[in-house]
Amino acid sequence: MELRQLRYFEAVARYGGFTRAAERLHVAQSAVSAQIRALESELGVALFDRTTRRVTLTHPGELFLVRARRVLGELDGARGELDDLAAVLSGRVAIGATAVVGPFDLPGALARFHVRYPGVDLLLRSGLVAKLLTLLDGGDVDLVIAPIHDDLPAHFAARRIAAEDLLLVLPPEHRLARGGVLDLGELRDERFVCLPADSGLRTLLDDAAAGAGFAPRVQFETTGPADVRALVAAGLGVALLARSAVEPPGPEVAVRPLRNAPAHPPIGLIHRRGRPLGAAARACRRQLVAAARS
């Protein structure tokens, strides 16, 4: 039994006749007829009832069609995977990532991808969400790992991969460093440390403070959560920070939970709608999703 015979058989069943099948396959009708006869002879059954007006499947033909389509589908899938693998072996993928990616182990995931596909030119760009989405829009990066904010433009698609939440951090010797849950309003007279005004964290702080009846006095502005933590540890202010920026080893800060704390957006894998990903980027996305599940 040959693969060509299965394709010819499936085409005759699909198009309801030898002539139409031959036209779609771009071969002579006689070639299709000869291969179907050879297949029927090998199987020892008639696969089609032939009349001058129509060609229909016999009962054995109907049973065999299910199997034939399953085999052809598996072969086509295998061919597609091999084509993707060949493209991945010499591809390129650029990832954009914010400093906050929750508990997701981005370095580990990228390292495993690099080991699996050493020939791929793998790039990483870091920055705030707004900058990374601009890079994604312009095609400078293929995927972005970042918090998924409610105002994410509709031409981006996002898949959630990790949860995140916000904590209040204070200098270790701050008057409110110890105790239970705090109301944000208790900090209305404090200096705040935060990311720039166009960051998602700054929006969360501004909105939460407005809800508590005050405008936060941000006197120290920096571009990274690690720097926010260091400035707080040095006694220069208080801050809202993602848990993933607070729990790892680093400068000592006091951590207090907030009553009615603003919700931190989930961490997601973002891509541009309507722009097909290359083979390397598709493979990397699969790796990142698998890493998030593990």
Give pLDDT tens digits for 29-77: 999 899 999 988 898 999 998 887 788 899 998 999 999 899 888 888 7
pLDDT band at 78 (very low <50, low <70, confident <90, very high): confident
Summarised one tens digit per residue, pLDDT across range 96-128 is 999 888 888 999 999 999 988 888 899 999 998
Coil/strand/helix, residue 118: coil
- Class at the top of the CATH hierarchy for domain 3-79: mainly alpha
Provide the whole-model pTM: 0.67
Q: Which two tokens mark 238?
A: 């208080």
The CATH superfamily assigned to 92-163+266-293 is: Periplasmic binding protein-like II (3.40.190.10)
pLDDT in the model for residue 109? 93
Region 117-143: mean pLDDT is 93
Are 55 and 44 contacting, i.e. CB atoms less than 8 angstroms apart?
Answer: no
Coil/strand/helix, residue 232: helix
Q: Which two tokens mark 175?
A: 């008057």
The reply to whether domains 92-163+266-293 and 166-256 share a CATH topology is yes
Among the listed ranges 73-87, 114-128, 203-217, 243-257, which one has the minimum average pLDDT value? 73-87
Region 174-202: mean pLDDT is 93
Give dist(CA 266, CA 25) in Å, integer: 49
pLDDT in the model for residue 85? 64
Summarised one tens digit per residue, pLDDT across range 231-244 is 999 999 999 999 99
Residue 78, C-beta contacts closer than 8 angstroms, at least 6 positions apart: none
pLDDT in the model for residue 118? 87
pLDDT band at 84 (very low <50, low <70, confident <90, very high): low
pLDDT in the model for residue 152? 93
Are 272 and 278 contacting, i.e. CB atoms less than 8 angstroms apart?
Answer: no
Domain range summary for the chain, segments of one domain joined by +: 3-79, 92-163+266-293, 166-256
pLDDT in the model for residue 87? 60
Q: Which two tokens mark 61?
A: 């033909």
Neighbours of 285 (CB within 10 A): 18
Question: What is 166-256's CATH number, 3.40.190.10, 3.90.226.30, 3.40.605.10, 3.40.50.1370?
Answer: 3.40.190.10
CA-atom Rg of the chain in angstroms: 30
Region 70-85: mean pLDDT is 77
**DSSP output for 48-79:** EEE-SS-EEE-HHHHHHHHHHHHHHHHHHHHH
Between these two residues, 174 and 84, which has the higher pLDDT value? Answer: 174
* Residue 187 CB-density burial (10 A; 0-12 exposed, 13-18 middle, 19+ buried): buried
Instruction: For the chain, give percent helix, strand, coil, nearest 5.
Output: 45, 20, 35
Region 243-264: mean pLDDT is 91
- Residue ranges of alpha helices (H) inside 159-278 are 200-211, 225-233, 243-246
Q: Which two tokens mark 246?
A: 């607070």
